[in-house]
């Protein structure tokens, strides 16, 4: 079957990488995927090309892209597809679909709903229910959010986890090689996190915990992979905490494998997250995870202490103690247990099965 995937963008964010893994899995089943990006092609483009996934990037002009609507409509009219996935929420893209792949359409939502007023989401879902045959969410948390806002959409709503390839468990030599590749110190306890440096990702909490860990364990270092509008403020915060020389700012890291291989513990903090890709990916490498998430789906995977530490408040002393427990080797089999848990919940072939069923590509 020919499947077209309409994506918000083709960068290397969690949503885009999850969508890429899904397409790779679908192609492994004999389907042929193509991408129409609502914005110019980005850093995901070489990966699409290597997988044999044709991609078209469009301009994005005007508020919410309204001036690009004619170009998008023309591009979609040229597409020939048996099924359609739209990755992310875009009202104009929904209106531009025409009759393309009617009857086999999946809207793949990856974001929480707190970014817009409820009335806007209700309007969005009214339109989505007329244009899509199924709507997927990476966690029960964000699916329930949608059903609470728009109960009429419930029959179309399904939880479909983000696919994740299972990496080979690293050995000490791989860890040292990975640290060298990223310019990280070889023989120190290393705590890290990755993501956009934006307010809801709470890297300020990460730094507050780092300060407590650094006081108790002077050899520890802390690595942050990512960029964003909060970077200058966060660097100043590290300076005020007296740990500026202990924090390593890696910037945008394209190959997250080396980052995860380098870590002794991942410290993940967030106010809102649909799923928590960074934490789940770290778990798949056997990295023990300590996390605090006020609202999100991570509690569906770290649902008992054997899989990691997850708090529903940003409790700095408790987070500090949990990180020290892991760095001091008192965490038991948390890393191994978390690895098995993440791999079981993110099995790509099971997720491809689900998507094929939702697109009516399988009996």
Alpha helices in 191-347 (DSSP H): 203-216, 231-241, 256-262, 277-284, 316-327, 334-345
pLDDT for position 4: 98
Q: Phi then psi for 134, rounded to 5 degrees?
A: -160, 150
Q: What is the pLDDT of residue 62?
A: 79
- Least confident piece of the model among 27-36, 119-128, 169-178: 169-178
Non-local (6+) Cβ contacts of 70 within 8 A are none
State yes or no: pLDDT of 170 exceeds 90.
no
> For residue 96, what are the contacts with CB-CB under 8 A and spacing of at least 6?
69, 72, 73, 76
Domains along the sequence of the chain with CATH: 2-163+347-358 (3.40.50.2000), 172-345 (3.40.50.2000)
Does the pLDDT of residue 256 top 60, yes or no?
yes
The pTM assigned to this predicted structure is 0.93
- pLDDT recorded at residue 362: 54
For range 259-274, the mean pLDDT: 96
Task: State residue 194's pLDDT score.
Answer: 97
Number of Cβ within 10 Å of residue 353's Cβ equals 15
- pLDDT at 66 exceeding the cut of 90: no
212, two tokens: 């407590």
Question: Tell me, what DSSP letter sits at residue 83?
Answer: E
What counts of helices (H) and strands (E) characterise the chain?
Answer: 14, 13
Mean pLDDT of 258-282: 96
pLDDT at 363 over 60: no
| Nearest one of 277, 286, 262, 47 to 167, comparing CA atoms | 286
pLDDT tens-place string over residues 73-119: 999 999 999 999 999 998 889 999 999 999 999 999 998 998 789 99
- Tell me, what's the pLDDT at 14? 87
Residue 315 clears pLDDT 80, i.e. is over it: yes
Mean pLDDT of 148-162: 97
Contact assessment for residue 335 and residue 158, using Cβ atoms and an 8 Å cutoff = no
Bigger pLDDT: 220 vs 255: 220
pLDDT of 124 over the 50 cut: yes
Check if the beta carbon of residue 186 is closer than 8 Å to that of residue 219. Answer: no
User: According to the model, what pLDDT value does residue 300 have?
Assistant: 97
Average pLDDT, the chain: 95
Q: Is the per-residue pLDDT at 206 higher than 90?
A: yes
pLDDT of residue 281: 96
| Token pair recorded at residue 231 | 């970077």
In the predicted model, what is the mean pLDDT of residues 50-69? 87
Give the mean model confidence (pLDDT) for residues 39-63.
93
């Amino acid at each position: 079957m020919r499947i077209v995937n309409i994506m918000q963008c083709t960068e290397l964010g969690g949503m885009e990488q999850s969508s890429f893994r899904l397409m790779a899995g679908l192609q492994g089943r004999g389907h042929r995927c193509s991408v129409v990006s609502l914005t110019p092609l980005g850093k995901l483009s070489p990966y699409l090309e290597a997988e044999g996934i044709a991609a078209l990037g469009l301009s994005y002009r005007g508020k919410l892209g309204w001036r690009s609507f004619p170009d998008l409509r023309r591009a979609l009219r040229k597409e020939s597809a048996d099924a359609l996935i739209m990755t992310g929420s875009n009202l104009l893209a929904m209106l531009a679909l025409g009759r393309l792949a009617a009857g086999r359409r999946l809207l793949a939502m990856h974001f929480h709903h707190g970014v817009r007023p409820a009335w806007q989401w209700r309007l969005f879902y009214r339109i989505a229910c007329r244009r899509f045959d199924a709507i997927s969410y990476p966690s029960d948390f964000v699916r329930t959010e949608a059903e609470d806002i728009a109960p009429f959409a419930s029959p179309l709503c399904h939880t479909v986890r983000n696919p994740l390839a299972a990496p080979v468990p690293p050995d000490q030599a791989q860890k040292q090689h990975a640290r060298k590749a990223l310019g990280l110190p070889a023989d120190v306890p290393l705590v890290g996190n990755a993501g956009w440096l934006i307010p809801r990702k709470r890297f300020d909490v990460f730094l507050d915990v780092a300060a407590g860990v650094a006081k108790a364990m002077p050899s520890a270092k802390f690595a942050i992979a990512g960029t964003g509008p909060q970077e200058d403020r966060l660097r100043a915060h590290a300076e005020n905490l007296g740990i500026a020389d202990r924090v390593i700012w890696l910037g945008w890291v394209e190959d997250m494998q080396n980052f995860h291989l380098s870590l002794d513990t991942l410290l993940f903090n967030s106010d809102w997250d649909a799923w928590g890709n960074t934490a789940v990916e770290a778990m798949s490498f056997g990295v023990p995870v300590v996390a605090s998430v006020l609202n999100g789906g991570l509690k569906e995977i770290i649902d008992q202490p054997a899989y990691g530490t997850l708090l529903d408040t940003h409790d700095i002393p408790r987070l500090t103690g949990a990180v020290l427990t892991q760095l001091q080797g008192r965490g038991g089999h948390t890393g191994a247990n978390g690895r098995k848990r993440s791999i079981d919940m993110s099995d790509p072939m099971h997720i491809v099965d689900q998507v094929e069923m939702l697109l009516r590509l399988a009996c």
